[in-house]
């Protein structure tokens, strides 16, 4: 099969012979820096029903033609290879907007019916804008989905409409309630703060979320949206978010020193009451100012079947061509290992030579 990249080619780092991953213990997705990817993020579509200003231009992006998107069966096959053969233990469904995918419940059910080599059920989670969540939360839970992250940057309806270019806040709030009622907990809320737009809501978002039993998390804005909307000097940094929160709330770090593969640093908020049994905690994901590349445990698949080692990778490996060219599961697993072996050390946003990936966030899968 000529289109299968030669393993030796993709696994040879600059400067030296290395052991091939096949010689490493087990069948894990190990890279040359010793990281092991156990967490698969899979984008189910590049389309979206919102147009968040930091993610997409108002007119959207050129959507991937339907024939190039992986089918449900192709997605299930790749997840099966990842969980059964490659040591993946967590699968997160994302997009674009993953709730636009009709087969989502079937894909989730197929994923949760898999077992890792240790006999465990893979952990599943969904990242969604929540607009369509209300009517699907129960079915998703029944399909075995464990948790959801819902993106919400403001509680003000007019501001939400400006920021996302769609008037859908009431549906998101209903989706959040439905997710909690369905047991997709802890429900996490992802917020991106933009200077002069919503940074004044940092404290109110935290209070509002914690009082309802949701877990708020702030994500630093990354250079993955329209080219003209990211400015490193204008970005609301993790340090600034922390100081905004500390101006009104008492925060105690949970594991500031050792973050491991968890992207969020977490603080307990002692002056807000959450419902019984829920720890009032807030997270900050400092992807830009305090990158967590050293502990990264992710491998990524786009909706059109391109394997990526990193959100910011500039190279992709075409698993769809392998699938459609008749490759066996073993061949696919080999190429997947080889691609991950060559994963870059870090995203390099703060390096002089940093170049954005060719795809926007919505087409990679955030």
Residue closer to ligand SF4 (CB basis): 51 or 324 = 51
Residue 165 gets the label, from left (phi > 0), alpha (psi -120 to 50) or beta, of left
Contact string (CB under 6 A) for ligand SF4, positions 309-348, x = contact: ----------------------------------------
The runs of H, that is alpha helices, within the chain are 7-11, 72-85, 104-112, 137-142, 157-164, 169-182, 202-211, 238-246, 319-324, 329-341, 361-364
Residue closer to ligand SAM (CB basis): 129 or 215 = 129
Residue 268 is given by DSSP the state: E
**Interface residue with ligand SF4, options 87, 95, 175, 283 (CB under 6 A):** 95
Number of residues that bind ligand SF4 (CB under 6 A): 12
Measured in degrees and rounded to the nearest 5, phi and psi for residue 300 equal -130, 145
241 scored as a contact of ligand SF4 (CB under 6 A): no
Asked if 5 and 322 count as a contact pair (C-beta separation under 8 A), the reply is no
Both tokens assigned to 102: 């009709």
55 scored as a contact of ligand SAM (CB under 6 A): yes
303 scored as a contact of ligand SF4 (CB under 6 A): no
**Interface residue with ligand SAM, options 11, 45, 151, 339 (CB under 6 A):** 151
R_g of the chain, CA atoms, integer Å: 20
Contact string (CB under 6 A) for ligand SAM, positions 81-110, x = contact: -------------xx-x-------------
User: Terminal CA-to-CA distance of the chain, rounded, Å?
Assistant: 32
Asked if 199 and 225 count as a contact pair (C-beta separation under 8 A), the reply is no
Q: Which does 56 bind (CB under 5 to 8 A by kind): ligand SAM, ligand SF4, none?
A: ligand SF4
Q: Is 70 helix (H, G, I), strand (E, B) or coil?
A: coil
238 scored as a contact of ligand SF4 (CB under 6 A): no
56 scored as a contact of ligand SF4 (CB under 6 A): yes
Shortest reach from residue 9's CB to ligand SF4, in Å:
34
Summarize as ranges the residues that interact with ligand SF4 (CB under 6 A): 48, 50-52, 55-56, 95-97, 129, 151, 362
């Amino acid at each position: 099969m000529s289109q299968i990249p030669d393993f030796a080619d993709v696994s040879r780092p600059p400067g030296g012979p290395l052991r091939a991953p096949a010689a490493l213990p087990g069948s894990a997705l190990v890279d040359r820096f010793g990281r092991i990817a156990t967490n698969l993020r899979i984008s189910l579509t590049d389309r979206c029903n919102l147009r968040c200003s930091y993610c997409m231009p108002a007119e959207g992006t050129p959507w991937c033609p339907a024939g190039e998107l992986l089918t449900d069966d192709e997605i299930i096959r790749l997840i099966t290879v990842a969980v059964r053969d490659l040591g993946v233990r967590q699968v997160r469904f994302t997009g674009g907007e993953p709730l636009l995918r009709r087969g989502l419940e079937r894909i989730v059910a197929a994923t949760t019916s898999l077992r890792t080599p240790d006999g465990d059920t893979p952990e599943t989670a969904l990242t969604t804008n929540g607009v369509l969540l209300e009517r699907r939360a129960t079915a998703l839970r029944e399909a075995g989905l464990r948790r959801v992250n819902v993106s919400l940057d403001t509680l003000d309806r007019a501001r939400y409409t400006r920021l996302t270019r769609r008037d859908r806040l009431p549906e998101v709030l209903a989706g959040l309630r439905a997710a909690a009622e369905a047991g997709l907990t802890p429900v996490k809320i992802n917020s991106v703060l933009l200077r002069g737009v919503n940074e004044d809501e940092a404290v109110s978002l935290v209070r509002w979320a914690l009082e309802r039993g949701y877990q708020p998390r702030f994500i630093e804005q990354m250079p993955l949206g329209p080219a003209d909307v990211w400015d490193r000097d204008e970005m609301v940094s993790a340090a600034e978010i922390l100081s905004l929160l500390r101006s009104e709330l008492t925060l105690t770090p949970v594991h500031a020193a050792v973050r491991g593969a968890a992207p969020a640093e977490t603080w307990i908020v002692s002056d807000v009451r959450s419902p019984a049994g829920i720890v009032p905690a807030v997270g900050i994901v400092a992807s830009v100012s305090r990158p967590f590349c050293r502990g990264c445990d992710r491998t990524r698949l786009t909706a059109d079947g391109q394997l990526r080692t990193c959100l910011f990778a500039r190279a992709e490996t075409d698993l769809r061509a392998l699938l459609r060219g008749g490759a066996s599961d073993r061949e696919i697993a080999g190429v997947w290992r080889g691609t991950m072996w060559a994963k870059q050390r870090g995203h390099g946003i703060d390096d002089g030579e940093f170049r954005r990936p060719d795809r926007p966030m919505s087409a990679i899968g955030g």
